[in-house]
Amino acid sequence: MKDLLFQTLSKKNRLLILGVGVFLVLVYFIPIWSISISAPQYPEGLGMHIWINQITGATPYDLKNINLLNHYIGMKEIVSESIPELLFMPYVLAYLIFGAFITELYPKVGMAILGIINLIIVGLVGLFDFWRWEYNYGHNLNPDAPIIIEGMAYQPPLLGCKVMLNITACSYPSYGGMILAFSLVLLVYILWDEKRRKKSNVVSTS
């Protein structure tokens, strides 16, 4: 295992990791997650995009209308500035990109493994934090809201669709989230390829 950690990456795999770094830069410019809402009063539907540093509506007025719906059932207003995670997530992404580019200078398999570990940690922590954010918004309701239904909570789904009263909310990864997942898959492939290459080298020299 120690030999594999310090094994020099093949030229192809070095280019692939460099490509991962370039792909991750795109995450600054596209949403990582999307939530869509359909309700009788909004037959065309409403949408909300979660970016690495902000939350926006799918159209200029969607977030305003979503907050209006939330007001009636006692949910807090969704404002980017009130979510501290959005302040430091750009730096976390910068760390991942920096690691990919540093690998070009220190092209060892151990750097690819470190990238896999970092992406898994960021993904798991990010999903848990997103669930916790949804839970707080859906359960910590204003007791003086215009519409109160005893025992009702409005937590959106982490993944998939959920019906709440006459509202259907759907939550899925957007293009940025897909890039993060693809980057992890690509790094796992690189690790597999390097293991295979090491094994074939051992066989050829024996």
Percent of residues, the chain, with pLDDT higher than 70: 97
Residue 26 located in a structural domain: yes
Q: What would the two tokens of residue 1 be? A: 């295992």
Residue 37 located in a structural domain: yes
Q: pLDDT tens digit string along 163-195?
A: 887 889 999 999 999 999 999 999 999 999 999
Q: What would the two tokens of residue 26 be? A: 């795109």
**Domain CATH code at residue 184:** 1.20.140
Looking at residue 206, its pLDDT comes to 52
How far apart CA 60 and CA 79 sit, in angstroms, is: 14
Residue 204 located in a structural domain: no
Q: What are the angstrom distances between the C-alpha of 28 and each of 31, 61, 90, 138, 177?
A: 8, 22, 8, 28, 11
Residue 206 located in a structural domain: no
Looking at residue 185, its pLDDT comes to 96
Residue 98 located in a structural domain: yes
Residue 140 is part of which domain span?
1-199
pLDDT exceeds 80 at position 121: yes
Which pTM value belongs to this model?
0.88
Closest CA to 137 of 38, 40, 32, 67: 67
DSSP 148: -
Q: pLDDT tens digit string along 43-101?
A: 888 999 999 999 999 998 899 998 988 888 888 888 888 788 888 999 999 999 999 99
DSSP 149: -
Looking at residue 104, its pLDDT comes to 86
Mean pLDDT of the chain: 89
Q: How many domains does the chain have?
A: 1
Q: What are phi and psi of 46, to 5 degrees?
A: -125, 150
